Structure 1
Amino acid sequence: MSFKIAIIGAGSVGFTKKLFTDILCVPEFKGIEFALTDVSEHNLQMIKAILDRIVEANKLPTKVTATTDRRKALEGARYVISCVRVGGLEAYADDIRIPLKYGIDQCVGDTICAGGILYGQRNIPVILDFCKDIREVAETDAKFLNYANPMAMNTWAAIEYGKVDTVGLCHGVQHGAEQIAEVLGAKSPRELDYVCSGINHQTWFIELRLNGREIGKDELVAAFEAHPVYSRQEKLRIDVLKRFGVYSTESNGHLSEYLPWYRKRPDEIARWIDMSDWIHGETGGYLRYSTETRNWFETEYPQFLEAASKPIDPSKRSNEHASHILEALETNRVYRGHFNVKNDGVITNLPQDAIVESPGFVDRFGINMAAGITLPEACAATCISSINVQRMSVHAAISGDIDLLKLAVLHDPLVGAVSTPEEVWQMVDEMVVAQAAWLPQFAHAVPAAKERLSKSRVKTREWAGAAWRSVRSIEELRAEKAALKQAG
């Protein structure tokens, strides 16, 4: 087969390498073209060197190009994959640190909450630029696969305003299923059959069967509480399971941000989180992890390049959806997965304009969603709270309406549990001013926001959150890696 895949944000080196090797595990795809594009020429050259090394080591006819000219990369592409982070770590740091001044303690801050909403404001104008280029220079009816967060907002904007055939992809469902299979004693995750549905990062395992046997709430609770690791790392998630009756796909730290109950009191946060890894609830955990990963990669790049000389092993193909979707569309080998699409009847008790994440099947006719799913009422109520925030956030990003943006942040479940309207208004002004370079749609509102900030009397505090850890040095990371290697 011969077709072109464009990867926007290809400078996300580790993830691009994973997508690339996954796709080349499909025998029919050896001769396709990958067009890499990014705003960073430095990162582009690093990832191109790695992918070229893979192609050379495996004696493949695959073509790899790299350019900072996005439109050139998209020319003739049949598939476009986005994994961009608009504003990079500089803007992301503001997403975490500014809300902390107003008492809002986030672990990740990339989906909703104050950080996720501002992340969406930065991403959506760029997503619409991608869509314009796709419509104008890519293959007719090219498919846009969005991996970038905030998943629901980006996908909503691309479908509703970008007018491009778009699907949002995430790996939270697969990871949750792997946990459930493990606690139930399965030999392989494949023994677990499930229906998981909801919205991105708030998806719920509403049906579970292990080797055909139905698994109920009580058995699942007991299994998690008996597990020596998850019983400690997933305390909040297990508490939600007990109260809602179903398990959430999302990690302990992520889930804590989407609910108004667990992170609103600093003295209560420690009760629900675990500090063994960032993903279990650490304040600004993903910011720290991302910073350390970037620093590590820059320093250890020669080792990454050397590792690229190894043969591709199809048995190590990941469960990221992209390669499996492309395989199904191009070869008609059917793939079942969980996809982010416009609701339109997929989930009966969520708004029809929302972006939902739910089961579907892919073949040469496209992505075909299972329709008519009804969530448990508590799950639907929690999802609807986030959907209302997402809708306002998308509309604010499109219109540049700073008052609507403030209302979106005000209605966020965790923000509303922590902050007053006056605090929210000032916080949004501060975030818009700090991130003005990436928010062109709010340029007209920045001078007035600066003026309000100069006169504000809202008190803030210098606070590192309830569970902050400093970024580790390369030397510390090396020592930790060596210790783990010696222990294991």
Structure 2
Amino acid sequence: MSFKIAIIGAGSVGFTKKLFTDILCVPEFRDVEFALTDLSERNLQMIKSILDRVVEFNRLPTKVTATTDRRAALEGARYIISCVRVGGLEAYADDIRIPLKYGIDQCVGDTICAGGILYGQRNIPVILDFCKDILEVAEPGAKFLNYANPMAMNTWAAIEYGRVDTVGLCHGVQHGADQIAEVLGAKSRTELDYVCSGINHQTWFIDLRLNGRKIGKDELVAAFEAHPVYSQQEKLRIDVLKRFGVYSTESNGHLSEYLPWYRKRPDEITRWIDMSDWIHGETGGYLRYSTETRNWFETEFPQFLESAARPIDPAKRSNEHASHILEALETNRVYRGHFNVKNNGIITNLPQDAIIESPGFVDRFGINMAAGITLPEACAATCTSSINVQRMSVHAAISGDIDLLKLAVLHDPLVGAVSTPEEVWQMVDEMVVAQARWLPQYAGAVPAAKERLSKSRVKTREWAGAARRDVRSIEELRAEKAALKQAV
């Protein structure tokens, strides 16, 4: 088979390499063309060098091109994969830093909450530019696979306003299933059958069966509380399981910032999180991790290039959905996964216009979702709160209505638990002014926002957060990796 795959934001080096090698695990895809595009010529050339090394070592006919001209990369593409982070780590730092001045402590800040909403404002205009190019120059009927956060907002905009055949993809469900299989003593995840449904990053394991035997709440709670690691790392997640009756897909840190109850006071934050790794709730944890990862890659690039000279091993193919979807569509080998699509009756007790994440099957006829799922009421209530925020955020990003943006932030569960309306109004003004270069739709609102900020009397504080860690140096990372290697 010969067709073209374009990867936008291909400078996301580790993830791009994973998608690339996963796809080449499919024997029929040896002749595929990969077109890489990114704003950074330097990052493009680095990732192209790595992928060229993979192709050369494995003696494949696969073609890899790289260009900063996005339309050229998209021309004739059958599949387009997006991994973009508009504004990069500079804008992301503001997503964490500015809300902290108003008492809002985020672990990740890429889905909802103040950081996720502003992230969506930066991404959505760019997503719509992608969609315009796809409709004009890609292969007719091309499919857009969005991996970029905020997943629901980006996918919502691409479907409703971009009018492109779009599916949103995430790996939270797979990671949650791995945990459940482990605590229940399964030999592999294949022994676990599950139905997981909700919205991205708030998806719920509403039916669990181990080797055909149904697993109830009490058994699952006992299994997690008995686990020597997860009982400490997932304290908040286990508490939600006890109260809601079902387990969430998302990590302790992710879940903590989508709810109004666990990060509202500093002493509560430290009670529920675990500092053994960023993902369990550390303040700005993913920002720190992303910064360290970028610094490590740039410094240790020769090692990454050397490690690319290895055989592609189908046994090590990851559980990221993209390669499996492409394989099912092109070969008719059926794949079951969890996908982000417009609801339209798939989940009965969530809004019809929402972007939901739920089970589906893929074959040559496309992505076919299992319809008629009803969530437990508490799960539906929590998801609906986030959906209302997402809807307002998308509409604000499209219209450039700063007042609607402020209302979206005001209705966010964690923001509403921490901040007053006056604080929210000033915080949004401050974020829009700080990120103006990535927010063209708000250009007309920036002067008035600056004027309001010059006269504001709302008090703020310089606060690092309840559980902040410093970015580690390359030397510290090397020492840590050496210690881990020696321990093993």
Shorter-chain TM band: over 0.9
The answer as to 2:481 corresponding to 1:481 is yes
The answer as to 2:460 corresponding to 1:460 is yes
Superposed CA deviations along residues 431-455 of structure 1, whole A, max 9, x for unmatched, are 0000000000000000000000000
Q: What displacement does 1:267 show?
A: 1.2
Q: What displacement does 1:218 show?
A: 0.1
Alignment partners' CA distance in 2, 1:410 and 1:141:
39
The answer as to 2:57 corresponding to 1:57 is yes
Alignment partners' CA distance in 2, 1:60 and 1:436:
45
Alignment partners' CA distance in 2, 1:30 and 1:76:
18
Alignment partners' CA distance in 1, 2:447 and 2:269:
37
Alignment partners' CA distance in 2, 1:352 and 1:126:
25
Q: Which runs of 5+ in 1 are unaligned?
A: none
Alignment partners' CA distance in 2, 1:241 and 1:433:
40
Q: What displacement does 1:102 show?
A: 0.1
Superposed CA deviations along residues 82-138 of structure 1, whole A, max 9, x for unmatched, are 000000000000000000000000000000000000000000000000000000000
Q: Helix, strand or coil: the match of 1:103? A: coil
Alignment partners' CA distance in 2, 1:51 and 1:13:
10
Question: In angstroms, what is the RMSD of aligned CA positions?
Answer: 0.2
Q: Helix, strand or coil: the match of 1:35? A: strand
Name the structure 2 match of 1:403: 403
Superposed CA deviations along residues 236-259 of structure 1, whole A, max 9, x for unmatched, are 000000000000000000000000
**Identity across matched positions, percent:** 92
Name the structure 1 match of 2:267: 267
Q: Helix, strand or coil: the match of 1:441? A: helix
Alignment partners' CA distance in 2, 1:25 and 1:99:
43
Superposed CA deviations along residues 270-312 of structure 1, whole A, max 9, x for unmatched, are 1100000000000000000000000000000000000001111
Q: Helix, strand or coil: the match of 1:206? A: strand
* Correspondence 1:5-44 to 2 at 5 A: 5-44=5-44
Name the structure 1 match of 2:144: 144
Alignment partners' CA distance in 2, 1:231 and 1:252:
11
Q: Helix, strand or coil: the match of 1:408? A: helix
Alignment partners' CA distance in 2, 1:210 and 1:184:
8
Name the structure 2 match of 1:427: 427
Q: Helix, strand or coil: the match of 1:267? A: helix
Q: Which runs of 5+ in 2 are unaligned?
A: none
Alignment partners' CA distance in 1, 2:141 and 2:345:
23
Superposed CA deviations along residues 345-392 of structure 1, whole A, max 9, x for unmatched, are 100000000000000000000000000000000000000000000000
Alignment partners' CA distance in 2, 1:376 and 1:357:
15
Q: What displacement does 1:229 show?
A: 0.1
Paired positions, count: 488
Q: Helix, strand or coil: the match of 1:197? A: strand
Q: What displacement does 1:400 show?
A: 0.1
Superposed CA deviations along residues 195-227 of structure 1, whole A, max 9, x for unmatched, are 000000000000000000000000000000000
Alignment partners' CA distance in 1, 2:311 and 2:174:
26
Q: What displacement does 1:185 show?
A: 0.2
Q: What displacement does 1:21 show?
A: 0.1
Alignment partners' CA distance in 2, 1:339 and 1:185:
27
Alignment partners' CA distance in 2, 1:35 and 1:72:
9
Superposed CA deviations along residues 18-38 of structure 1, whole A, max 9, x for unmatched, are 000000000000001000000
Superposed CA deviations along residues 309-346 of structure 1, whole A, max 9, x for unmatched, are 11111100000000000000000000000000000010
Superposed CA deviations along residues 379-413 of structure 1, whole A, max 9, x for unmatched, are 00000000000000000000000000000000000
Name the structure 2 match of 1:198: 198
Alignment partners' CA distance in 1, 2:268 and 2:319:
36
The answer as to 2:117 corresponding to 1:112 is no
Q: Helix, strand or coil: the match of 2:103? A: coil
Alignment partners' CA distance in 2, 1:450 and 1:267:
34
Q: Helix, strand or coil: the match of 1:185? A: coil
Alignment partners' CA distance in 2, 1:380 and 1:94:
31
Alignment partners' CA distance in 1, 2:16 and 2:213:
38
Alignment partners' CA distance in 1, 2:386 and 2:456:
29
Query: What TM-score does the superposition give when structure 2 sets the normalisation length?
Result: 1.00
Q: What displacement does 1:268 show?
A: 1.1
Alignment partners' CA distance in 1, 2:478 and 2:211:
42
Alignment partners' CA distance in 2, 1:218 and 1:14:
39
Alignment partners' CA distance in 1, 2:104 and 2:249:
23
Alignment partners' CA distance in 2, 1:42 and 1:122:
23
Alignment partners' CA distance in 2, 1:269 and 1:135:
46
Q: Helix, strand or coil: the match of 2:360? A: strand
Q: What displacement does 1:467 show?
A: 0.1
Q: What displacement does 1:474 show?
A: 0.2
Alignment partners' CA distance in 1, 2:147 and 2:19:
11
Alignment partners' CA distance in 2, 1:406 and 1:5:
38
Alignment partners' CA distance in 2, 1:438 and 1:430:
14
Q: Helix, strand or coil: the match of 2:257? A: helix
Q: Helix, strand or coil: the match of 1:258? A: coil
Alignment partners' CA distance in 1, 2:487 and 2:234:
24
Alignment partners' CA distance in 1, 2:121 and 2:299:
32
Q: What displacement does 1:188 show?
A: 0.2
Superposed CA deviations along residues 10-67 of structure 1, whole A, max 9, x for unmatched, are 0000000000000000000000100000000000000000000000000000000000
Q: What displacement does 1:485 show?
A: 0.6
Q: Helix, strand or coil: the match of 1:409? A: helix
Query: What TM-score does the superposition give when structure 1 sets the normalisation length?
Result: 1.00
Q: Helix, strand or coil: the match of 2:163? A: coil
Q: What displacement does 1:232 show?
A: 0.2
Q: Helix, strand or coil: the match of 1:116? A: helix
Q: Helix, strand or coil: the match of 2:300? A: helix
Alignment partners' CA distance in 2, 1:27 and 1:16:
19
Runs of 4+ deviating beyond 3 Å: none
Alignment partners' CA distance in 1, 2:440 and 2:92:
17
Alignment partners' CA distance in 2, 1:421 and 1:186:
49
Name the structure 2 match of 1:445: 445
